[in-house]
Chain A
Amino acid sequence: LAKTTQPISMDSYEGQEVNITCSHNNIATNDYITWYQQFPSQGPRFIIQGYKTKVTNEVASLFIPADRKSSTLSLPRVSLSDTAVYYCLVGPANQAGTALIFGKGTTLSVSS
């Protein structure tokens, strides 16, 4: 499984755009990149997933360069409620028995 590295913590202010980058240098051809968000005492929640280029949904964008060795989660105009831990995961498609490994994640703190 590809190992991921992301910053331990980030600070931001309300209304700013936040970009969290995750490195996954040994990503495999059939690996997908997925980001989850977790609030205290709750289970993680899916944010966005991509394979290559750019993916956008109603809450975030995911930028993946051509070599796919990193990815960047972009949160536009964050609010206090975006304060959470963000996890980057890399896992192969259609491969039974392969566990998704959550790293330490990035703790995002948004202030007013």
Chain B
Amino acid sequence: KAGVTQTPRYLIKTRGQQVTLSCSPISGHRSVSWYQQTPGQGLQFLFEYFSETQRNKGNFPGRFSGRQFSNSRSEMNVSTLELGDSALYLCASSLGTGGQFEQFFGPGTRLTVL
């Protein structure tokens, strides 16, 4: 079974631009979560989607948004990029929502904002 895939793997943008990252979950998984990882802040939860509905959102500004499609694929968008948005963005999928479900992480998208 194919794992979680994320595209693109690397991205370089300049301040003020916007970016869209894509995540394809494991087949059959309906929950997709997004995380931002930086050296200083560690792994921080962005949001979770289940069956096209946002179930939870972390403490990030409104510039960060996401959505999930009917095939469970998910995208996240960051508008008006800032230097501090440079990070590894990780997507994870699971069969359902709740602490008993194993999350399967993708390889991440490395975003660099210049």
Chain A residues at the B interface, C-beta cutoff of 8 Å: 31-32, 34, 36, 41-46, 49, 87, 89-105
Contact = CB atoms under 8 A, between A and B. Distances in A.
Contacts of A92: 98-99
B104 interface: yes
B64 interface: no
A91 B98 contact: yes
Given A42-B107, A92-B99, A102-B45, 18 more contacts: A43-B108, A46-B102, A49-B102, A89-B99, A91-B99, A91-B100, A95-B98, A95-B99, A96-B50, A96-B55, A97-B55, A97-B56, A97-B97, A99-B56, A101-B45, A102-B35, A102-B44, A103-B42
B58 A96 contact: no
A90 B33 contact: no
Contact of B99 (A100, A102, A105): A100
A7 B55 CA distance: 31
B108 A98 contact: no
